[in-house]
Structure 1
């Protein structure tokens, strides 16, 4: 039950996130649906490739595809004035999707008896893979590869699930809330990971 709920939450959140980005980039209706679907299911496809699950398993999730399509349709049909406020919620839905899918990906790897390293990788790829593909298709720098803290929270989820720190439904839902809040706090207060830039150094040398 926990698995199914997290899958639904992640699918809805990332589908909406992808649709919002597509509308921000002024994509047409088909572009909105494609970007939303890719965002919702891209991370799972990458995860399946790396942990040995046939990618075709994604096509067995017919109900989730319908849920994603419904969520995107609702967002697309919202009045223009309301959509202006929806743009502000893009990061919020992204945080929900990251948390839900990171935990779901970790549970998937644990179920297949993979080691902790594979559980963490599954969490990161499931939680951020769809967002990376979305940003690339939208012509943006992938959020997860910038200095902003993003994939770290997926790693936290993977470690918690892989070490059985969170294993019961209550613990998993609590982990979902914690990871979501950490992601929201990180973009609200602009938390950054250490990074170095060679751009200024190259300009000085020239």
Structure 2
């Protein structure tokens, strides 16, 4: 059984991004990696897009089949977590990343990733372009949504919320969810992911 994010780590994003990077460098599709590892492509997709993190045996299976030395892979997950008392975050430093393969018109930029003894969080800027589309997904985190620009609907399973600039929504990411840009205009959201330490 796959594990939810915990233990104050923010490697959920880095693990998925690294796996996707190495897979694409080898010109492999998710189905190719699935055939090599015996892990379902749907599960691999969730791992790559940061919806879950893999168990240690699953992770070692993936990196082994991708031909990556474990020490090389894990060295890229290390980060200096010392907090200097502030972070200045110029917009030029926002890192674009892909969260869901197959999503149309979703553009994510990571603004800040940070972890401490109490858990971990990530703040992202999400831009929804006209015609954007995605199925409902789940995330092993709490999510806080704040609308910066545009009008949208946010679906939480069978509930729908109408949001305009300045509105916010907080929810358990384990509830299936998706934003819907139903107008012919761009929508910008701040998305705050909170990964609590489940061992406390």
Alignment TM-score, normalising by the size of structure 1: 0.27
- Which structure features the higher share of strand residues? 2
Q: Which one has the bigger helix percentage? A: 1
User: TM-score normalised to the size of structure 2?
Assistant: 0.27
